[in-house]
């Protein structure tokens, strides 16, 4: 089967150094495998997303010579497919309405290995689904993913993951379900993403099994931390990636990924750097940790 990977940014702002790390790892994994690298724009949450940010992201990727195959898939154009998947879940009788507010969840949520998990407050309540978030009732079993960087990821669904939302109270299909539909539609064989999304991968693996769709492999790379030990993210106001320094950005990302670009690439163009990086790419050189401090990298990061 031909390798098919993807990069799926949310257009709520421009790419930053952490975004580039994920994009580059996915691009090199696809190209080194002789496969395709696709682009998906996760613009399902229209309140957060902007067309101008989407355009900026496309320009940033092109400036770094990260060219995708096929037309980008926009989540906003596939609402019907997500609703169809939700209907299938309804027929499985595994859904229930949740009336918990954000404030209540903040108090009642339990601590799990991948973040807060739902305490099951509404699990046995007979609530009308109208204007309610809809959760998927998980089975009491263990789920495992053999990750190519982080090793074996094993979780007890009830104790470690918890029932999660598949449709929001406003009627919007939630990220976890939409993502599973997207991977199936684009025939993705491996998902390369940051280690902060391990919890999402496990939820999506369960959904893949319930819906009986493709179950891609996973490769979770370390996330970058800023000087305060926080994840580089738009929420933490990470600096936007400067395309004028694309070559330096790529070299810094390769160093963070353990790939050791040679000094001869000091004055190379982005395309020349990638020409070296594709045949030199080795997954086993990626640091086997879930987070990296960016303090040793360029100040631009």
Quick: pLDDT tens for 224-279.
Answer: 887 767 777 666 566 889 999 999 999 999 999 999 999 999 999 999 999 999 99
- Please report whether residue 30 resides in a domain: yes
Q: Is the pLDDT of residue 207 over 70?
A: yes
- Please report whether residue 89 resides in a domain: yes
Give me the number of domains the chain comprises.
2
The rounded distance, in Å, linking the Cα atoms of 115 and 99 is: 21
- Please report whether residue 153 resides in a domain: yes
Looking at residues 66-79, what average pLDDT do you find? 97
- Please report whether residue 248 resides in a domain: yes
Same domain, residue pair 194 and 290: yes
Same domain, residue pair 73 and 198: yes
Same domain, residue pair 84 and 165: yes
Within a 10 A sphere around the Cβ of 53, how many other Cβ atoms?
20
Q: Which domain holds residue 225?
A: 4-77+187-296
Q: For 92-197, where are the alpha helices, taking DSSP H only?
A: 102-108, 175-185
- Please report whether residue 70 resides in a domain: yes
- Please report whether residue 61 resides in a domain: yes
Domain limit, last residue, from 176, 200, 233: 176
Same domain, residue pair 70 and 111: no
Looking at residues 104-124, what average pLDDT do you find? 91
- Please report whether residue 43 resides in a domain: yes
How does pLDDT run across 277-293, given as a tens digit for each residue?
A: 999 999 999 999 888 87
The CATH number for 270's domain is 3.40.50.620
pLDDT band (50, 70, 90) for residue 67: very high
DSSP labels, 182-226:
HHHHTT-SEEEEEGGGHHHHHHHHHHHHHHT----EEEEEPEEE-
In the numeric block, the tokens 């079993």 are attached to: 141
CA 254 to chain centroid:
20
Six-digit token string for 111? 């601590």
Same domain, residue pair 117 and 35: no
Same domain, residue pair 281 and 203: yes
Q: Is the pLDDT of residue 42 over 90?
A: yes
Same domain, residue pair 208 and 168: no
Same domain, residue pair 96 and 165: yes
Looking at residues 193-197, what average pLDDT do you find? 95
Q: Are 225 and 293 in contact (CB under 8 A)?
A: yes
């Amino acid at each position: 089967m031909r390798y098919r990977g993807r990069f799926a940014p949310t257009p709520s702002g421009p790419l930053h150094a952490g975004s580039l790390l994920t994009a580059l790892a996915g691009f090199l994994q696809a190209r080194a495998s002789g496969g395709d690298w696709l682009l998906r724009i996760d613009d399902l949450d229209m309140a957060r997303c902007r067309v101008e940010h989407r355009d900026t992201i496309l320009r940033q990727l092109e400036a770094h010579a990260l060219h995708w195959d096929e037309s980008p898939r926009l989540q906003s154009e596939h609402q019907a497919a997500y609703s169809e998947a939700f209907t299938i879940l309804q027929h499985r009788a595994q859904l229930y309405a949740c009336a918990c507010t954000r404030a209540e969840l903040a108090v009642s949520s339990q601590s799990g290995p991948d973040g807060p998990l739902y305490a099951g407050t509404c699990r046995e309540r007979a609530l009308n689904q109208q204007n309610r978030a809809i959760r998927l009732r998980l089975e009491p079993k263990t789920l495992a993913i053999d990750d190519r960087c982080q090793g074996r990821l094993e979780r007890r669904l009830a104790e470690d993951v918890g029932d999660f939302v598949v449709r929001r109270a406003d009627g919007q299909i939630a990220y976890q379900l939409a993502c599973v539909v997207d991977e199936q539609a684009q025939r993705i064989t491996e998902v390369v993403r940051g280690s902060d999304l391990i919890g999402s991968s496990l939820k999506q693996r369960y959904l893949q099994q319930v819906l009986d769709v493709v179950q891609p492999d996973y490769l979770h790379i370390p996330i970058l931390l800023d000087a305060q030990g926080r994840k580089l993210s738009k929420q933490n106001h990470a600096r936007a990636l400067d395309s004028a320094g694309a070559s330096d950005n790529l070299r810094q990302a390769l160093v963070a990924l353990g790939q050791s670009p040679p000094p001869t690439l000091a004055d190379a163009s982005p395309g020349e750097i990638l020409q070296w990086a594709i045949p030199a790419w080795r997954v086993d050189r990626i640091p086997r940790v879930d987070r990296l401090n960016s303090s040793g990298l360029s100040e631009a990061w």
